[in-house]
Amino acid sequence: METRRTEVTTWYLEQTDPGRLVPAAPAPVEVVRAEVPSPELSRYLYLAVGGDHLWTDRLPWSYRDWAEWLAGPGTETWLAWDRGTPAGYAELRPGAGGEVELICFGLLPAFTGRGIGGHLLTEATARAWDLADRWDLPPTRRVWLHTCSLDGPAALPNYLKRGFQVYDTRVAVEDVWARPLGPWPGARD
User: Dihedral (C-alpha) 141, 147, 151, 154: value to the nearest 10 degrees?
Assistant: 60
CATH fold of 3-177: Aminopeptidase (3.40.630)
DSSP-derived secondary structure letter, 179: S
Among 50, 40, 96, CA closest to 72 = 96
Q: What is the pLDDT along the chain (189 residues), one digit of tens a residue?
A: 687 788 989 999 999 999 999 999 999 999 999 999 999 999 999 989 988 777 788 988 999 999 999 999 999 999 999 999 999 999 999 999 999 999 999 999 999 999 999 999 999 999 999 999 999 999 999 999 999 998 989 999 999 999 999 999 999 887 776 666 666 555 545
Can you give the residue ranges of every domain in the chain? 3-177
